[in-house]
Chains A and B, each alone.
Chain A
């Protein structure tokens, strides 16, 4: 009897794995809201440290007021920097909640405010202290340099300015990714050399105080996250899973599928659509790491990535010899089934953007008729993995549309000119867009256009899922 009652229950739950999506989404949003609130609260806590120190009473004279503002700017700016480090640490909880790209977007948005606050910190304190001792701010620089730990703090600020300038998009394009990344690593140096002056020059973080303990704890949290999730965990994981290149197959001009063999790959629990950051240990490629999605769901002993020659780096990895040792960080990203919130599924994909979509579809539990897929390529040669996606769609009862041809112009440039003339729209391909999760993957300029049209059709924010090809 018991087996009889158990079996039907299992059977009724099986086909409707979807209904929990709402609850999952709410849970993720709750976590996300707590994270946002924590971000705000940490800035408030930085100001509160100054208030505990009696800061509210230090605005009596102009000099004092400027000095106090300078101190507050330094506290908030440093707090922002530490938050940025936490956001860049690829902490699994943050990645699962909002996704790595969202976390990096917040990271970037804090960069300039943090720099301005820390610049203000330096300038305001030079003015404030200058007024207090009756000398001009430039002469005050000499005074400050005489204080122990201050020369290091000046070095730190200089480094930070260099880092932020090289990170601004306009300048970044002139650097290679590695050059930029190397400069970016200087942030750690900049942040660390600023620590001594925080603890020794002012009185806020007096030895043995709670404030000092809190501040040091923030640093440990930030740098501990980096050390754990950017270095230790990927290293251990790479050693344990022992990935090597098994075969490299050209599937189209300039596009290769790389089969990797390894151990216990299922224990990585990567969901279809997630990406890893790969490092191929050959003489030419070891210094370069690549974010690439798996192009199919891995078995316990094998995984596959599909790569197009986008830059010099990915050109080199398309020629790695069989047997090359491969290290990785990941899996990352919420371009997966776990991100679903709506009853229907719409997928738009262009070019090599097919790879995460291919794995995502394979990993998704889809009802017949639930899914509509739109495949986009400029030429027939760029229809990578289309055969596999079409096969998957057939198995899972999904509709597939294709668009091949030179692009149209203006806001409609995401589709071929022919389709544009025929009056095709995103809405005509996906009539039920408002009740659909829209997954978009492809080159950034193309993706931006699709996203704009989706938004113009009133799709809710949480139903948009995007994977852009930039770093």
Chain B
């Protein structure tokens, strides 16, 4: 009798774990797909866009002091396309902890500001991570004038989403 209970428990557990694992890998697959193929629903606008910020707690923008120190470092590559100006909205990137979307402000071919429209916000821990990571990513992007910056440790998902969105905005700006 006890053997039957043990076997029943083992098989039921294995079945449940198997189902959970299948769902989990299916979900992971959709996230990678969305990452590689940026969504097309965002349109580039030459002037400033009015975008509602969906999650107030997550869309904390960086302090002003960082942008002031970052602006003098103009990269030489920017001069070739120096005429571009405006606000460009990046693609929405899905991550497991929520969607990430940024917009960049370009003045005369230089990124002068990065605003987070949406940050990973699923769960209090996730909000804490994005609030911590976003200012760092912003200053790094302004410093390097590109989306090719080092990942913020402990905030891999936020970093990936953030930089992908920055890259898609840069593509729209033609930078």
List residues of A whose CB falls within 8 A of some B CB. Answer: 29, 32-34, 36-41, 43-45, 47-57, 63, 129, 131-134, 143, 146-150, 197, 200-203, 206, 462
Q: Which residues of A contact B1 (CB under 8 A)?
A: 29, 32-33, 462
Q: List 16 A-B contacts (CB under 8 A).
A: A33-B8, A36-B9, A40-B8, A40-B13, A41-B16, A43-B13, A44-B14, A45-B20, A47-B17, A47-B20, A51-B21, A54-B25, A54-B27, A54-B96, A147-B124, A203-B96
Query: What is the distance, in angstroms, from A23's C-beta to the closest C-beta of chain B?
Result: 14
CB atoms of A51 and B124 under 8 A apart? no
Flag B1-39 by CB within 8 Å of A: 1 or 0 each: 110111011101110110111011101100100000000
In the assembly, what is the distance between CA of A148 and CA of B1, in Å?
48
CB atoms of A56 and B25 under 8 A apart? yes
Q: Counting CB contacts under 8 A, is B128 at the interface?
A: yes
CB atoms of A148 and B124 under 8 A apart? yes
CB atoms of A147 and B125 under 8 A apart? yes
- A32 touches which one: B5, B21, B122, B155 (CB < 8 A)? B5
Q: Which residues of A contact B126 (CB under 8 A)?
A: 203
Query: What is the distance, in angstroms, from A219's C-beta to the closest C-beta of chain B?
Result: 19
Name B27's closest neighbour in chain A (CB-CB): A54
Q: Which residues of A contact B124 (CB under 8 A)?
A: 147-150, 197, 200-201
Q: Counting CB contacts under 8 A, is B72 at the interface?
A: no
- B125 touches which one: A37, A47, A202, A206 (CB < 8 A)? A202
Please report whether the interface of chain B is mostly helix, strand, loop or mixed according to DSSP.
Answer: helix
Knowing A34-B8, A132-B153, A132-B154, say if A45 contacts B16 (CB, 8 Å).
yes
Query: What is the distance, in angstroms, from A306's C-beta to the closest C-beta of chain B?
Result: 35
Query: What is the distance, in angstroms, from A45's C-beta to the closest C-beta of chain B?
Result: 5
Q: Which residues of B contact A51 (CB under 8 A)?
A: 17, 20-21, 23-24
- Which of B6, B28, B124 counts the most A-chain CB atoms under 10 A from its CB? B124
Query: What is the distance, in angstroms, from B58's C-beta to the closest C-beta of chain A?
Result: 13
CB atoms of A203 and B24 under 8 A apart? no
Name B19's closest neighbour in chain A (CB-CB): A48
Q: A40-B8, A48-B16, A203-B96 are in contact. List 6 more A-B contacts (CB 8 A).
A: A41-B13, A44-B13, A44-B14, A54-B25, A54-B31, A206-B122
Query: What is the distance, in angstroms, from A208's C-beta to the closest C-beta of chain B?
Result: 11
In the assembly, what is the distance between CA of A146 and CA of B128, in Å?
9
Knowing A41-B12, A44-B16, A47-B17, say if A147 contacts B128 (CB, 8 Å).
yes
In order of increasing CB-CB distance, the 6 nearest A-B pairs are: A48-B20, A40-B9, A132-B154, A44-B13, A37-B8, A51-B20
Name B3's closest neighbour in chain A (CB-CB): A33
Name A202's closest neighbour in chain B (CB-CB): B123
Q: Which residues of A contact B9 (CB under 8 A)?
A: 36-37, 39-41
Those of B103-153 within 8 Å (CB) of chain A: 122-128, 132, 153
- Which of B8, B13, B20, B98 counts the most A-chain CB atoms under 10 A from its CB? B20
Knowing A36-B9, A147-B124, A202-B125, say if A49 contacts B154 (CB, 8 Å).
no
List residues of B whose CB falls within 8 A of some A CB. Answer: 1-2, 4-6, 8-10, 12-14, 16-17, 19-21, 23-25, 27-28, 31, 96-98, 122-128, 132, 153-155
CB atoms of A36 and B5 under 8 A apart? yes
CB atoms of A52 and B27 under 8 A apart? yes
In the assembly, what is the distance between CA of A132 and CA of B2, in Å?
44
Name A150's closest neighbour in chain B (CB-CB): B124
In the assembly, what is the distance between CA of A257 and CA of B10, in Å?
50
Query: What is the distance, in angstroms, from B118's C-beta to the closest C-beta of chain A?
Result: 15
In the assembly, what is the distance between CA of A133 and CA of B1, in Å?
50
Q: Which residues of B contact A50 (CB under 8 A)?
A: 20
- A54 touches which one: B12, B17, B19, B24 (CB < 8 A)? B24
Name A143's closest neighbour in chain B (CB-CB): B128
- B122 touches which one: A39, A129, A148, A203 (CB < 8 A)? A203
Q: Which residues of B contact A147 (CB under 8 A)?
A: 124-125, 127-128
Q: Which residues of A contact B122 (CB under 8 A)?
A: 203, 206
Query: What is the distance, in angstroms, from B89's C-beta to the closest C-beta of chain A?
Result: 25
Q: Which residues of B contact A56 (CB under 8 A)?
A: 21, 24-25
Q: Which residues of B contact A150 (CB under 8 A)?
A: 124
In the assembly, what is the distance between CA of A197 and CA of B12, in Å?
29
Q: Which residues of B contact A39 (CB under 8 A)?
A: 9
In the assembly, what is the distance between CA of A39 and CA of B23, in Å?
22
In the assembly, what is the distance between CA of A29 and CA of B9, in Å?
14
Q: Which residues of A contact B98 (CB under 8 A)?
A: 203
Query: What is the distance, in angstroms, from A382's C-beta to the closest C-beta of chain B?
Result: 38
Query: What is the distance, in angstroms, from B3's C-beta to the closest C-beta of chain A?
Result: 9
Q: Which residues of A contact B10 (CB under 8 A)?
A: 40
- B20 touches which one: A34, A52, A143, A148 (CB < 8 A)? A52
In the assembly, what is the distance between CA of A146 and CA of B19, in Å?
35
- A52 touches which one: B5, B8, B24 (CB < 8 A)? B24
- A36 touches which one: B8, B21, B97 (CB < 8 A)? B8
Query: What is the distance, in angstroms, from B4's C-beta to the closest C-beta of chain A?
Result: 5
Name A36's closest neighbour in chain B (CB-CB): B5
Query: What is the distance, in angstroms, from A88's C-beta to the closest C-beta of chain B?
Result: 21
